[in-house]
Chains A and B, each alone.
Chain A
């Protein structure tokens, strides 16, 4: 029997958009609404100063969120007590206490951080191009982002293709990514909640990475406004040269013990008639565990089947795909999400 009541999936924090919120703070009122005195990252002289400001602002924001959530959690027991659920847990019975009051042994809460791949790439692009190579000033970079790279396709492609990306084989990048993962874990966990437990860091998004993309402005990694942001703890989709091996390698830079609230990796396995069979899966799973991975989402489908299913849903009612964190009948997905799943299978082919 389980003895855990983890409260999650109530706040999805779009990391890349938080950076936009800091660079263009005049356009967003949530800082003042939360009484946060913003440290302006764009005024920093060094990348260290920039990075510190970003992390500081994020931690202030997350602290405010934890406060809001805890106020709700305090009245949880009055509004929605859970006697049946509580009856399944030994400590609830022993303590004669509902789960909503903290009857379970483990009473954690967690925020979901979304788009960490895009977040890492964007910060790294600013570090490289603005602070190290000095090819752009901070103002020029902000102008590119504000205008969504209008008329500056060469710059957008430069940022997308010529700056190292998280997941690629680049030692400097790997150590930077490890640092971001670590810092985000530190600042999104540890706060006490109202049930006697603590906040734990987590990195999962179900399908929210797809919902949120429309509201995400252009990012410094060369991503257009409205384009997809990264999933779970995966590298960005448009990153070149990401295969199963590189994905595993990228896991090594992360200490997943920092993310007890779950950090999901996604991997699409293209299936073909001549595929190498189940042995491949065994090897991948072995490698995943060996490299210290936390949760792995497989999708095993071929593109043709999905394209057909999209055209002819009636005959594909039982086609189940792993969306992210859960599985669903393919035909039940929105057209946009269907296209997204189709595109994923094409990527690793």
Chain B
């Protein structure tokens, strides 16, 4: 048996990864995280930047900011933004209905919402294109009004709205579920009407999750390719999205040009997501 005297206490200064903690595994989990993030995300993106960097600055600017590319960015970011905004509104209402009410086939509705996650995007694109074409069910309905949906920028918005809906529903839903009925009753007992309760109590509490859902739908929309190309018509300067332009450049063996457009999109997307995150952090701090 060893006595305590044999082992006088020694103050050991352990490195950050070796500190004792009630939740062990910091070193391991952080290591795995960085490894995955590097191999799957960072290194490919770095390769894109490297490829784009092979050009001279003048060539890069000419490729990245040609008239055709600018029109494609406008369409991609604009349509993604509009689609995300539409989804934010209808996703919120859908989440509300799912959380607050009981209705027949609720489980079925719940499952359908996730379909856009699972469905191959090309299938969605073809289905949407045939529905919204001038001779499709929906297209024929709006044709007398002089509207054209498929093969116009409007078609791009429709496809992106389809893709993005579950992001908003699934981020808002759990927060709404956690929001206790007490809070609404408290507002009512203090004299607030339904509209005031909604705008002053419920929506501010949902804001961080709602913004997250919007950001996810928006980001997904910017990068979406498969469903859009079938419904967009893909006319240069009019209904051609930026991811398609990258593919066209690649097919013409202009790898550096494709990389230039990719890097520009990457930068813009990163900036926008960063700003949305800042707004979110601000909203959360107040909450």
Q: Do A and B bind each other?
A: no
- Enumerate chain B interface residues (CB-CB to A < 8 A): none
- Enumerate chain A interface residues (CB-CB to B < 8 A): none
